[in-house]
């Protein structure tokens, strides 16, 4: 017992040191990003020291003056539309595959997952030609429709496993009490599946928010639909051939902070939604 008691402080210290290393590994790059975004003039290019100024908010003012607020609006609309479509379709498809007597459901689920493995770059040329003929270039539907096609397989898989983990006896009890299949789904199963739906929504939103390949192809120039990843890649400095490190990092901070805030606020629900689907009953 004495040996165990002596080991406890050492174990706690080693755990604290390990956590400190992990936190430093994760937070120092983000701290450097914020520090660089606040550096004025050419200081961001001349020095990599996080604490060497002068500091100010000039880069943020310059980014917003170039219309970055419109890009944020576009990303929010496209990501939200993609999330709503994916969840609306994914909830119904996931429930059907998990609960209803669907023939060859494993083959269907395998086919759905196989779609997510298809490289998007191979679809860009035909989609671009089709979108040009339909007039969908530089429009919101031209972005959130393909986003939905690529994000939906993962949503269906996550929700199928989550619905399958909900005890079927709860739904059967509602049916015995006189509820219809839709009423049992809407009033009993759907509220229990909220953590999984929430986790799938966050994953879908972040994936659509960060997508670059399709956005740079279908809405590369117009502020009417250009999203933030394309806008950041398009930023230019005041001097030719000079990388605009200050404005790029400022734009990255503006884009990253909301995602970090959402992850911190809803981390318990996200973890619950991702882990509960793996527990049967």
Q: What is the pLDDT of residues 90-134, one digit of tens each?
A: 999 888 888 878 777 778 878 877 777 778 888 888 999 999 999
The predicted-structure confidence for 151-183, as pLDDT tens digits, reads as follows 999 899 888 888 888 888 888 888 888 888 888
Residues 224 and 228: their CA atoms lie apart, in Å, by 12
Q: Calculate mean pLDDT across residues 211-237.
A: 84
Is residue 176 a contact partner of residue 138, using CB atoms and an 8 Å limit?
A: no
Mean pLDDT value across the chain = 82
Instruction: Return the pLDDT at 248.
Output: 86
For residue 29, the Cα-to-chain-centroid distance in whole angstroms is 20
Residues 144 and 83: their CA atoms lie apart, in Å, by 9
- Degrees to nearest 5, angle at CA 182 with 179 and 186: 95
The conformation of residue 189, written as its DSSP 8-state character, comes to I
Which residues, 6 or more positions from 280, have their beta carbon under 8 angstroms from its beta carbon?
Answer: 164, 165
Which residues, 6 or more positions from 136, have their beta carbon under 8 angstroms from its beta carbon?
Answer: 142, 145, 218
Round the CA-based radius of gyration of the chain to a whole number and report it.
24
Short-list 43, 42, 65, CA closest to 53? 43
Is residue 107 a contact partner of residue 188, using CB atoms and an 8 Å limit?
A: no
More confident residue, 250 or 277: 250
Structural tokens at position 10? 């050492």
**Dihedral over alpha carbons 66, 72, 78, 81 (to 10 degrees):** -150
Query: For residue 6, what pLDDT band results from cuts at 50, 70 and 90?
Result: low
Q: What φ, ψ does residue 38 adopt, rounded to 5°?
A: -95, -10
Unique residue bearing structure tokens 């003012």: 61
Residues 153 and 149: their CA atoms lie apart, in Å, by 8
The predicted-structure confidence for 40-81, as pLDDT tens digits, reads as follows 766 666 666 667 767 788 888 888 888 888 999 999 999 999
Is residue 74 a contact partner of residue 226, using CB atoms and an 8 Å limit?
A: yes
Residues 127 and 146: their CA atoms lie apart, in Å, by 9
Residues 224 and 67: their CA atoms lie apart, in Å, by 11
Q: Calculate mean pLDDT across residues 23-28.
A: 84
Q: Calculate mean pLDDT across residues 81-86.
A: 95
Residues constituting the chain: 281
Residues 176 and 224: their CA atoms lie apart, in Å, by 53
């Amino acid at each position: 017992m004495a040996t165990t008691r002596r080991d406890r402080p050492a174990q706690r210290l080693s755990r604290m040191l390990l956590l400190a290393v992990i936190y430093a590994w994760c937070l120092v790059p983000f701290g450097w990003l914020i520090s660089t975004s606040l550096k004025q003039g050419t200081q961001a290019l001349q020095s990599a020291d996080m604490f060497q100024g002068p500091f100010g908010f000039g880069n943020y003012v310059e980014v917003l003056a170039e219309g970055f607020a419109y890009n944020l609006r576009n990303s929010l609309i496209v990501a939200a539309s993609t999330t709503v479509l994916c969840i609306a379709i994914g909830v119904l498809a996931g429930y059907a595959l998990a609960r209803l007597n669907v023939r060859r459901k494993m083959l269907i689920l395998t086919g759905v997952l196989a779609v997510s493995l298809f490289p998007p770059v191979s679809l860009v040329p035909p989609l671009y030609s089709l979108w040009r003929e339909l007039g969908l270039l530089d429009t919101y539907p031209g972005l959130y429709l393909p986003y939905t096609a690529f994000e939906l397989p993962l949503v269906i898989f996550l929700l199928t496993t989550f619905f399958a983990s909900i005890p079927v006896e709860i739904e059967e009890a509602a049916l015995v009490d006189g509820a219809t299949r839709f009423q049992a789904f809407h009033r009993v199963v759907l509220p229990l599946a909220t953590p999984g739906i929430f986790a799938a929504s966050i994953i879908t939103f972040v994936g659509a928010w960060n997508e670059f390949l399709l956005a740079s192809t279908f809405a590369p120039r117009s502020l009417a639909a250009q999203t933030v990843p394309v806008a950041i890649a398009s930023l230019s400095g005041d001097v030719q051939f000079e990388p605009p490190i200050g404005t790029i990092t400022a734009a990255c901070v503006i884009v990253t902070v909301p995602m970090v805030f959402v992850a911190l606020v809803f981390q318990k629900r996200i973890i619950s939604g991702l882990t509960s689907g793996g527990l049967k009953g």
